Amino acid sequence: MKNSLILIISALWGSFALAQTVAEQMPQVAVTAQSAAAHPFFRSEGGLKWSALTASQALADAREAVRLTRERVQAIYSIAPEDATFDNTFLAVEEATDELQCVMMLMMHLSYVADSAENRAAMEEISALMSDCTAEIFSNEQLWHLMQCAATPEKTAGLSPAKQRAVKQLMQIFVDNGANLSAEKKALKNELEKEMMMLSLAYDKNIQDFTQNWELLITDVAELDGVPDNVLLMLQNAAKEAGLEGYLITLRDETAPMVMAFCSVEQTRKKCWEGVYGYGVGTQYDNAPVIAALMEKRQAFAELLGFKNYADYEARTRMVQHGDEALAFVDSLIAKLKPAYDEELRGIMKSYCDALGKNCAHLTPWDELQALGIYNGHKNAASMVGLSAYFKSTDVLNGLFSVYSNLLGVSFKQLPAVCLKPGETCPEDKVEVWHPDVKCVAMYDTATGTQLGVFYLDLYRRADKRAGAWCAQIRQANPGPNGEIVEPHVAALMANFDPKVKGMPNLFSHEDVIVLFHEFGHLMHHLLSHTELKGHGAMGVAWDFNEFPSTLSENWAWSPEVLATFARHYKTRKPCPQSVLERLAESRSVLQAHIYMETLRRAKLDLEIHIYYKDKFKGRSLDAVSAELAADCQLPYASMPYSPLRNLPHCFAGGYAAGVYSYLWSEVLAADAYTRFAEEGMLNPAIGKQYRETILEKGDSLPADELYRMFMGRNPDEDAFLKVHKLNR
Ligand SMILES: [Zn+2]
């Protein structure tokens, strides 16, 4: 997933870049080698000195970066309008914020991998500094005037296509940030932005508070009939920790869905469901009023900037150009998926009725997980238990590296690493890491030997690490004077796999393997970016294109041909039987229609509310409207479920407003592109080379649909998604 804050930076500044030649041509304040050493968060020669990257240092460096930015921006608008060029305006602004971006990206990474009160406080302060500083730049009329002077056809005619694209993108970004508005409207826009931010925070806080506060204490174990012993034990421990007797179900872990999946007592399932899916309805944490207030502000904001609705505002930098286009895509996919979904639904209902020995036309919402579990269990009769024995961590990582080496023409070398305390000196033959578990790997172009990137692998769960898996871009390399590679990109692959069990090697589940391949897809996109302008790196690609390389990469983790290259029993070293790998590949389609339809339902509601808030939602029950609009894409419930919009922080507190569809959009692109590999060879280096050159290296230097056509020779085929996932009927 994209991180919203990184995206803000990237969206603001990612569209234009610093080329080093510019340094001599424009007025600027130089950063001396001495100041770079005094500011370890800034760009410097050699590897990152993690032991020097403390919260207090981040704040000091951020303040210095803001000072440098202000000084440089001032120097830019001392240029006479007739002398304004691409280099001394557009590129110069990028140059002006380079250190600020470096501090922000590093500190954000640190706050994710080592959560602490100091890191959080530093992050908040740096975000505020960054936001004030960017607001100043956007409202700077002298700068805007200079940019307009540098963007005239005469001035841009001789520029390279990448620079011409950067001019268009940056002008649009300034317009979208209110550059053309009157002073009064600018003030209104700033006010609306603040209000939207406060409402987003309130939305997120409601979810966090409800999650923390909801509890269900069960004292009679009979009410938990059917729940497996290990889950009962977890519930008992939770009660003990809270100083209570009995079994405590909370939303702070995964026990509530497990109770719903296994408990035979309907009342218990119902109470859990109200916790997990009620999202605070009937309590002070209900988000329905927050959504209503936020939608009013978003609509007003979009109209102020000249858009019909907020979905159109968000679509301006995406592959889809309008909210309606995204909604049409979602509706079309729902219709195409419906036959497979209905067929799967009949199977779900039949297995549920058979298991319970009764006839039921409808489920209740709290039956859903049980019904899905029974169906899944039936379909997965060929049990995959024991598969982990074939996924020893070192085998999987070597396999992953080998797949990508062959496919993309790159090679990997693990670097000896050390984790230091502040003040300790790093031995010359080692690189620093932020935790002893972290590995550091250098990536080279096999043909030329050029170092393209460095990445860290931080794979195992820790108490102070943010949950989930993601790929963090830590430092984006500056291209050389002629766009050549002069320094490596730096990124990290982050996950939360189970830590090592004593006396056993680290083993991955198949799900872990999929996660690794997914994040590695993002990683390759970042590290292989090779663009004339820094801002055209992978981080700046259209929102709905971002998940394409990662989703595509998951296919290698399902392919029996690929898995056979590294799946070996950790003890016997025998390869995993082909029949097991084939059964695994077949199991991919189990519940796929249900899972995709669930995402489509959320995507549809997200778009409907951001396009038609006033017409369809305003003044009506959120649950009733949601149920009505999503009637075609949910299980047949005996009673109406609550609207999932209450708990969709991506849309209302993250960067995915009117953007949930992008998950499906990427799935379609990935499934379609996968057909080339499936037909011409999963490990075919010729296709890999084309993929590297037309998609990965290009970053955002061309529109995403053009890149896609360069690779596939045509537009995406929606039906490939149904075929690849065996959902065509
Ligand atoms: Zn992803």
Instruction: Say whether both 460 and 532 belong to one domain.
Output: yes
Q: For residue 77, what pLDDT is reported? A: 83
Decide if 207 is inside a domain: no
How many structural domains does the chain have?
4
Task: Show the tokens assigned to 632.
Answer: 């075609």
AA identity, residue 605: L
Query: Is 26 among the domain residues?
Result: yes
Going by C-alpha positions, the residue among 111, 7, 102 that lies closest to residue 464 is 111
426 and 315 in a common domain: no
Average pLDDT of 30-44? 70
Q: Based on the domain organization, do 262 and 114 belong to the same domain?
A: no
Ligand 1 centroid–CA 671 distance in Å is: 15
* pLDDT tens for each residue of 231-270: 899 999 999 999 999 999 998 777 888 899 999 999 999 9
DSSP 75-94: HHTTS-GGG--IIIIIIHHH
C-beta of residue 314 within 8 angstroms of C-beta of residue 610 = yes
- Expressed in angstroms and rounded, the spacing between residue 637 Cα and the centre of ligand 1 is 32
Could you give the percent of the chain with pLDDT greater than 90?
68
**CB neighbour list of residue 518: distance below 8 Å, 6 or more residues apart:** 469, 550, 551, 553, 554, 557
Same domain, 603 and 639: yes
- Of 209 and 611, the one with more pLDDT: 611
Looking at the DSSP bridge assignments, the partners of residue 494 are 458, 470
* Confidence check: pLDDT of 668 > 70: yes
320 and 406 fall within a common domain = no
What would the pLDDT profile of 452-470 be if each residue is shown by its tens digit? Answer: 999 999 999 888 888 788 9
pLDDT at 380: 59
Torsion of CA 715, 719, 721, 725, to 10 degrees: -160
Are 434 and 507 in the same domain? yes
* Ligand 1 geometric centre to CA of 669 (Å): 14
pLDDT at 102: 93
Q: Which of 172-186, 303-317, 352-366, 516-530 has the lowest mean pLDDT?
A: 352-366
Q: What angle do CA 123, 51, 416 make, to 5 degrees?
A: 125
For residues 463 and 527, state if they share a domain: yes
Ligand 1 centre from 544 Cα, in Å? 11
Among candidate residues 171, 169, 177, 173, the one with its CA nearest the CA of residue 193: 177
- Of 531, 560, 587, the residue that ends a domain is 587
Distance 319 CA to ligand 1 centre (A): 17
What is the CA(470)–ligand 1 centre distance, in A? 7
- Give strand ranges (E) for 308-386: none
DSSP secondary structure string, 152-200?
SHHHHTTS-HHHHHHHHHHHHHHHHTTTTS-HHHHHHHHHHHHHHHHHH
Distance between first and last Cα of the chain: 31
Task: Identify whether residues 428 and 464 lie together within a single domain.
Answer: yes
Final residue of a structural domain among 181, 202, 234: 181
Residue 310, pLDDT > 80, answer yes
Q: How far apart are the CA of 386 and the centre of ligand 1, in A?
A: 27
Ligand 1 geometric centre to CA of 320 (Å)? 19
**199 within a domain of the structure (yes/no):** no
What CATH number did the domain enclosing 610 receive? Answer: 1.10.1370.10
Q: How far is the CA of 547 from the centre of ligand 1 (A)?
A: 5
Do 557 and 600 lie in a common domain? no
- Ramachandran area for residue 407 (φ above 0: left; ψ -120 to 50: alpha; else beta): alpha
- Of 181, 207, 223, which one is at a domain's C-terminal end? 181
In a domain, 362, yes or no: yes
**Distance from the alpha carbon of residue 471 to the mean position of ligand 1, in angstroms:** 8
The Å distance, Cα 453 to ligand 1 centre, comes to 19
Residue 478 within a domain: yes
Domain of residue 601, residue span: 288-304+306-380+591-659
167 and 26 within one domain: yes
In the reported structure, the alpha carbon of residue 2 is separated from the centroid of ligand 1 by a whole-number distance in angstroms of 7
On average, the pLDDT of the chain sits at 89
Token digits of residue 622: 């959120």
Mean pLDDT of 514-534: 96
Distance (angstroms) between ligand 1 centre and the Cα of 181 equals 36
CATH classification at residue 509: 1.10.1370.40
pLDDT tens digits along 566-618: 999 999 999 999 999 999 998 888 889 999 999 999 999 999 999 999 999 99
Token code pair at residue 398: 């070597």
pLDDT on residue 139: 85
Question: What is the dihedral sign for C-alpha 351, 352, 356, 362?
Answer: negative
CA 517 to chain centre: 14
The pair of structure tokens assigned to 281 is 């309805």
pLDDT above 50 (res 431): yes
Beta strands per DSSP E along 317-438: 410-415, 417-419, 431-433
Q: How buried is residue 667: exposed, middle or buried, by Cβ count under 10 Å (0-12/13-18/19+)?
A: buried
Domain with residue 114: its CATH number is 1.20.1050.40
The verdict on residue 406 lying in a domain is yes
- Confidence band, pLDDT 50/70/90 cuts, at residue 447: very high
- Domain match, 512 and 631 both: no
Q: Which residues contact 335 (CB under 8 A, 6 or more apart)?
A: none
| 523 shares a domain with 427 | yes
Nearest to 647 by CA among 274, 296, 309: 274
- pLDDT over 70, % of the chain: 94
Q: Tell me whether residue 719 is in a domain.
A: no
Expressed in angstroms and rounded, the spacing between residue 508 Cα and the centre of ligand 1 is 19
Q: How far is the CA of 664 from the centre of ligand 1 (A)?
A: 12
Q: What is the pLDDT of residues 343-401, one digit of tens each?
A: 999 999 999 999 888 787 788 889 888 899 888 876 554 445 688 999 999 999 999 99
pTM of the model: 0.88
Q: How far apart are CA 498 and CA 118, in angstroms?
A: 27
pLDDT, position 278: 82
187: in domain: no
